[in-house]
């Protein structure tokens, strides 16, 4: 039942491989939990679900993880009710945990400049600069940069076709500075790609072995440059996406346009970046206004 459901959400619902893996782990973990009391999946009650979540909470799992587990169970049983005629969904009546949303971290322009100056004047240095520029210029997720093919970039118009979460397509823009670096890189990349591998030939960003780069590879490159630049903040590839959105909204971009560029399905996801701007204004006020201190 679990394997059939995972195949369904991958092939029919078009959920990402990472989401399918996470849901699979959650469901198999729940199945393991039920073995001790000898409860089968079709005998599960609301008390079993609550007991499972309580056990995970005692292990120190975060609120976000617990909500994901609940979501995985809720969707699994909804599928069984709809497609297999099961009578009830034992997750009905269990609410997700409320969690305080952290404001995303971002980079200041000076910090970005210090990073962009670091790559050396070589093909691999050029490749690293392309990674940094694309992440900031497009606001793409790291997985979207990894999956990007050369043919999906329109070098004349300065944009790229991205396939995001759930297989949704969107067009992202590549700024002038990023495009200049990208053109120089692409002019040389064919000589470094594994010509016998079709995926490597298509891939825009290569690793040093000539294959398509991985998300872990990009994260390693960024960590190395952050350390070189002496930036004390905790920076990940996703920080560039946060920075992209924050800088656009700070300069008056319409929030719905930013939502479109980020590929968010819900406006509420994008609205977190307006809070970043408000927090920055608040700090400036508290520092500068004579009567701001309490």
Catalytic residues: 141, 165, 238, 241, 264, 273
Q: How far apart are CA 272 and CA 260, in angstroms?
A: 15
CB neighbours of 294 closer than 8 A, spacing ≥ 6? Answer: none
Q: How far apart are CA 264 and CA 244, in angstroms?
A: 14
Q: How far apart are CA 234 and CA 223, in angstroms?
A: 9
Closest CA relative to residue 274, chosen from 101, 98, 103, 138: 103
CA distances 95 to 24, 37, 51, 78, Å, are 21, 24, 14, 15
Per the CB < 8 A criterion, the answer to whether 239 and 219 are in contact is no
Q: What DSSP string describes 188-238?
A: HHTTTS-TT-HHHHHBSSB-TTSSBPPHHHHHHHHHHHHHHHT--S---HH
Q: What DSSP string describes 86-110?
A: -S--TTTTPPPPP-PPPPPP---HH
CB count within 10 Å of CB 91 equals 20
Q: How far apart are CA 53 and CA 60, in angstroms?
A: 11
CB count within 10 Å of CB 166 equals 12
């Amino acid at each position: 039942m679990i394997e059939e459901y995972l195949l369904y959400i991958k092939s029919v619902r078009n959920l990402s491989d990472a989401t399918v893996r996470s849901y699979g782990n959650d469901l198999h973990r729940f199945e393991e939990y039920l073995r001790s009391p000898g409860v089968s999946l079709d005998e599960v009650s609301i008390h079993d679900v609550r007991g499972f979540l309580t056990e995970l909470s005692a292990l120190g799992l975060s609120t976000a993880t617990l909500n994901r587990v609940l979501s995985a169970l809720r969707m699994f049983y909804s599928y069984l009710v709809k497609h297999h005629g099961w009578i009830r969904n034992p997750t009905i009546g269990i609410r997700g945990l409320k969690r305080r949303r952290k404001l995303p971290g971002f980079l200041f322009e000076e910090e970005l400049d210090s990073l962009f100056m670091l790559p050396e004047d070589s093909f691999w240095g050029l490749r690293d600069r392309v990674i940094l520029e694309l992440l900031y210029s497009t606001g793409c997720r790291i997985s979207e940069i990894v999956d990007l093919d050369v043919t999906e970039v329109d070098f004349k118009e300065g944009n790229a076709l991205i396939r995001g979460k759930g297989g949704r397509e969107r067009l992202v823009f590549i700024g002038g500075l990023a495009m200049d670096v990208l053109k120089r890189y692409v002019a040389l990349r064919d000589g470094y790609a594994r010509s016998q591998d079709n995926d490597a030939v298509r891939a825009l960003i290569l690793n040093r072995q000539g294959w398509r780069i991985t998300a872990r590879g990009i994260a390693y490159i960024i960590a190395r440059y952050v350390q070189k630049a002496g930036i004390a903040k905790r920076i990940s590839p996703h920080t560039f996406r946060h920075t992209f959105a924050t800088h656009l909204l700070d300069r008056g971009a319409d929030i719905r346009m930013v939502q479109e560029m980020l590929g968010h399905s819900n406006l509420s996801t994008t609205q977190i970046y307006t809070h970043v701007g408000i927090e920055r204004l608040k700090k400036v006020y508290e520092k500068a206004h004579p009567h701001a201190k309490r």
